[in-house]
Amino acid sequence: MTQGFEVYSNGEEQTMSTLLEVKNLATQFHTEGGVVKAVDGVSYHIDEQEIIGLVGESGCGKSVSQLSVMQLISSPGKIVGGEIIFEDQNLLKYEANGAKMRSIRGAKIAMIFQEPMTSLNPVLTIGRQLTETLELHLGMNGETARTRAIELLSLVGIPSGENRINNYPHQFSGGMRQRVMIAMAISCNPRILIADEPTTALDVTTQAQLLELMKAMVERFHASLIIVTHNLGVVARYAQRIYIMYAGRIVEAGTTKDIFANPRHPYTIGLLKCIPRLDEEKGRKLVPIEGLPPNLINMKATCAFAPRCSTGSKRCSTDPWPPLTHIGNQHYVGCFLNDEEKKSELSA
């Protein structure tokens, strides 16, 4: 079953180098109502064999930033600036639908989507869809591709693949379909797997299984994993580093430990206050963040979180959005509240 998937042991000593670096990415949608700055100067990076989390509310630009990396933004959306450096090449230099970009999509960077129920073509068998990717990128054909597809299915925990391969997507449950999606995504041995809210549409038991599966797969294939989610709990266990996004910007970045133990941005603190924790004192009430995420049309240059922020200062409504500042080991925060006084006030 493991045939064809060489697993070589690479020691812990291997130095991790940056695999993907996104610099100042900006993606805008020109709508009738005005310009929507869905992604506004986002920078992040992912190292080899690293798992990172990208967390934020709905509509904060998480998915758009990932689709921008794949150059899958369609009109009226447009990537207006920034660089996406992958394996020393700037992906934005390539034409969105050109051969070069297509050879990266699916083969080097693969993506898993939110809705397993609709992410598979209903009129093709899953075997056909699995082998298609193999034919496209690895030049496999006929029996070879079929054998590999069956192997992939058993790898993602779908038994009797030789029968299931002839099934249509509607004969699979949501969790099983997401497994098929994972099998498709890893089929060409990608360097990076982007999971865009991979478990949102599934029930909790399946969520855990699939996250474990994804982790196992990226470990096996020595790939990196970007988990895009609105659920801090999902990334807490798997991600090494977390990026918190708000209104198209990254407001805080740091190791998972730092984010959970020492959150510095009021938004991150708010997010953490509204999820239950096992290690908390008894009787703590969950505190929601007041208000709604801002409409991204024609936004002001000031901090978009200020209207919902409980600790805002005068500067927040006058000065432009604070840049990310380094505040410790891999920990960055984009907020004016950096003095000790405010910090203690927040954590109280």
Partner 1 sequence: MSEKQTTLLGASEAPPPVSEWRRFRRVFFQRKIVMFGLIVLSLLVFTAIFAPWLAPHDPYRGKMADSLSQPSMKYLMGTDIQGRDTLSRLIYGSRTALMVGFLVVGIAAIVGSALGLVAGYFGGIPNMIIMRAMDALMGFPMLLLALLLAAVLGGGIQNVIIALAFATLPGYARVMHGLTLSVKENDYIMAEKAMGSSNARTMLKHILPNALPPMIVLITVWLGLTILAEANLSFLGIGIKPPGAAWGSMVNDGYQYLLMNPILSFAPGLTIMVVAFAFIMVGDGLRDALDPRLRGLL
Least distance in angstroms from the C-beta of 124 to partner 1: 7
Least distance in angstroms from the C-beta of 159 to partner 1: 6
Query: Tokens representing 161?
Result: 């693949």
From the list 27-35, 205-213, 315-323, 328-336, the region that binds partner 1 by CB under 8 A is 205-213
Query: Please, what is the end-to-end C-alpha distance for the chain in angstroms?
Result: 54
Residue 224: phi and psi, rounded to 5, are -105, 155
Of 50 and 197, which CB lies nearer to partner 1 in the complex structure?
A: 197
- For residues 115-134, which are near partner 1 according to CB under 8 A? 115, 118-124, 132-133
Question: Which of 18, 89, 90, 163 touches partner 1 (CB under 8 A)?
Answer: 163
Q: How far apart are CA 9 and CA 220, in angstroms?
A: 10
Question: Which of 19, 42, 126, 137 touches partner 1 (CB under 8 A)?
Answer: 137
Q: Assess 250 for contact with partner 1 (CB under 8 A).
A: no
- Element containing residue 292 per DSSP (H, E): none
Residue 282's Cβ-count burial label (10 Å; 0-12, 13-18, 19+) is exposed
Q: Assess 213 for contact with partner 1 (CB under 8 A).
A: yes
Question: Which of 110, 223, 235, 247 touches partner 1 (CB under 8 A)?
Answer: 110
Of 106 and 334, which CB lies nearer to partner 1 in the complex structure?
A: 106
Question: Which of 82, 106, 263, 266 touches partner 1 (CB under 8 A)?
Answer: 106
Question: Which of 43, 125, 154, 302 touches partner 1 (CB under 8 A)?
Answer: 154
Give the bridge partners for 243, in sequence order.
54, 253
Number of residues that bind partner 1 (CB under 8 A): 48
Q: How far apart are CA 55 and CA 218, in angstroms?
A: 20
- For residues 64-103, which are near partner 1 according to CB under 8 A? 70, 72, 75, 97, 99, 102-103
Q: How far apart are CA 129 and CA 121, in angstroms?
A: 8
Question: Which of 37, 62, 105, 241 touches partner 1 (CB under 8 A)?
Answer: 105
Q: What residues have CB less than 8 Å from 316, skipping those under 6 apart?
A: 302, 303, 306, 309, 336
With beta carbons less than 8 A apart as the criterion, state whether 253 and 334 touch.
Answer: no
Of 228, 218, 220, the C-alpha closest to 193 is 218
Where on the chain is the footprint of partner 1 (CB under 8 A)? 1, 70, 72, 75, 97, 99, 102-107, 110-111, 113-115, 118-124, 132-133, 136-137, 154-160, 163-164, 167, 171, 176, 181, 184, 209, 212-213, 216-217, 220
